């Protein structure tokens, strides 16, 4: 159950920047919520909007400690990883596409519909949980190919270079092909 909740939360975090871009593009501000806020500069609203997904991403990193533990360990002194491929740059174009969608949407009900579709497709793909906000917290994204030719997606703070020395004894499993490394 915690895994389902976590995957839904990761999906929301990964797609929530669309809402932030839409609010900023539409110059929606918090000034009208309370008389004390009426003279507040608009950029404070925009910073607040951006901080909400950042906070939720931080919360998801804390919650990841509750996931099931797993490992990719050495076998007979040899790393179980045979290949490393950086994934940071592979998914940024997708998120830029999300931003362009958010910039082109003119009505709130259209945004809700588009967001729901993107959320559904992102959740159902369940192969990757790339969230560019993880980069703020020092995480990197990698595709690792194991000795048995299984390709997994790893979210970690480590900079991976040499597959022959890799060992991950304390991973948290998001799904069968996606893991998050809690170690630095």
Return d(Cα 12, Cα 55) in angstroms, integer.
12
Any residues with CB less than 8 A from the CB of 18 and at least 6 apart, and which?
98, 99, 101, 102, 111, 114, 115, 118
Confidence label for 23 from pLDDT (cuts 50, 70 and 90): very high
Q: pLDDT tens-digit profile of 153-172? A: 999 999 988 887 887 878 99
Domain boundaries, the chain: 2-181
**Residue 48 three-state SS:** helix
pLDDT at 138: 93
Mean pLDDT computed over 64-92: 80
Q: Could you tell me which residue, 4 or 59, shows the higher pLDDT?
A: 59
pLDDT at 110: 92
**Which residue in 163, 171, 148 sits closest to 71, CA to CA?**
171
Look over the chain and give the mean of its residue pLDDT values, rounded to a whole number: 86
Confidence label for 25 from pLDDT (cuts 50, 70 and 90): very high
In this prediction the pTM is: 0.86
Q: pLDDT tens-digit profile of 135-149? A: 999 999 999 998 888
Return d(Cα 32, Cα 40) in angstroms, integer.
10
Confidence label for 127 from pLDDT (cuts 50, 70 and 90): low
Contact 97, 17 (CB under 8 A): no
Cβ atoms within 10 Å of 156's Cβ, excluding its own: 21
Return d(Cα 27, Cα 25) in angstroms, integer.
5
Give the bridge partners for 144, in sequence order: 84, 152
- 21-57 in b/e form (b: 16+ CB < 10 A) is bbbbeeeebbbeeeeeeeeeeeeebbeebbeebbebb
pLDDT at 74: 65
């Amino acid at each position: 159950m915690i895994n389902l909740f976590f995957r839904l939360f990761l999906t929301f975090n990964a797609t929530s920047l669309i809402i932030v871009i839409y609010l900023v593009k539409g110059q929606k501000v918090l000034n009208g919520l309370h008389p004390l806020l009426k003279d507040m500069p608009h950029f404070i609203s925009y910073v607040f909007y951006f901080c909400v997904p950042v906070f939720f991403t931080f919360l998801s990193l804390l919650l990841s400690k509750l996931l099931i533990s797993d490992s990719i360990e050495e076998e007979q002194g040899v790393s179980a990883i045979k290949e490393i491929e950086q994934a940071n740059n592979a998914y940024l174009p997708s998120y830029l596409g999300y931003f362009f969608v958010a910039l082109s949407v003119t009505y709130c009900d259209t945004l809700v519909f588009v967001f729901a579709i993107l959320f559904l497709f992102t959740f159902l793909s369940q192969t990757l949980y790339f969230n560019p906000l993880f980069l703020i917290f020092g995480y990197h994204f990698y595709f690792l190919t194991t000795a048995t030719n299984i390709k997994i997606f790893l979210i970690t703070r480590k900079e991976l270079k040499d597959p022959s020395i890799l060992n991950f004894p304390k991973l948290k499993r998001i799904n069968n092909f996606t893991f998050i490394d809690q170690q630095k």
